[in-house]
Amino acid sequence: MTTARTIAHLGPPGTYGEEALRDALGEQLALETLIPVETNRDVVVAVERGEADVGFVPIENSVEGAVTETLDALVHDAPGVMIVGEIVWPVHHCLIAANGAELGTITTIASHPQALAQCAHFINEQLPAATRAPKVSTAEAVRVAIENGAGWAGIGSRVAAETYDGQVLAENVEDVTGNRTRFVWLAKQPLETGWKGTTNTEQSKTSVVFSGFNDTSPGALVSILSEFAYRSVNLSKIESRPERTQLGHYLFFVDLDGSIDEEPIAHALDALKGKVRELRVLGSFPTFEA
């Protein structure tokens, strides 16, 4: 690809998303314009409004599950945006503070809520009296912690420590070995690039969301999902979110192994159209695991 694009991602500089994004772009990084924004929703909306050509956001973590902010934004705020690629990225958390700080002096730990949850055992064991301070991103948490100085620490990436000139007090503080996050590329049309997660053809995935069936009736969801089972289409994920109409009604997000161009998946989705009020294909895309 020779045309430079603008790419929105969760900021500020030093997030895991930026770390994964920079690796995915490789040599192409020098030709692209990265736009850090405040929230994952802002990334999705930037692509929808044409303020960015491409978005890069987390959608699921192996420990904490779905990133609901991303899912909700795709459905409710961005009807023209699709998922066009996926990267699975390893997450290694560090406890970071201003230079000269010591572990025993930390009284406040800042980070994104998911990162705090992913390091709960370490915090409870090593700093049980510390106050948790949620922030919009791990990088922002590290920036604030270093700026505040004495008594503060942030949980974030080693890149964040380098970005804000901080000190790593402890590394690999995540509770679960193998902590990984799925990031997705967003755009209004497929991307023809060499970026990781956009051109790998060995593995592919299709993401859909549906709603509007008799979901109070016993076996109704089974009837929907059986359209995939009958055709031997594997479901790698199913997630429900409130439909935002009335209590007890939900949107169902489903990930299918394979491409929409494959006959079993295409036929299953055609069958679903006759059973639900709304069905949207969020994307059919290649996947890459770092």
Sequence length of the chain is: 290
Chain CA centroid to CA 184, Å: 7
Amino acid occupying residue 288: F
Are the CB atoms for 5 and 187 separated by under 8 Å? no
What is the β-pairing status of strands 6-10 and 33-37? parallel
How far, in Å, CA of 186 to CA of 81, rounded? 6
How far, in Å, CA of 118 to CA of 219, rounded? 35
Catalytic site residues? 181, 183
Measured CA distances, 122 to 30, 128, 155, 161, 180 (Å): 38, 9, 11, 19, 18
Nearest to 109 by CA among 92, 126, 89, 86: 126
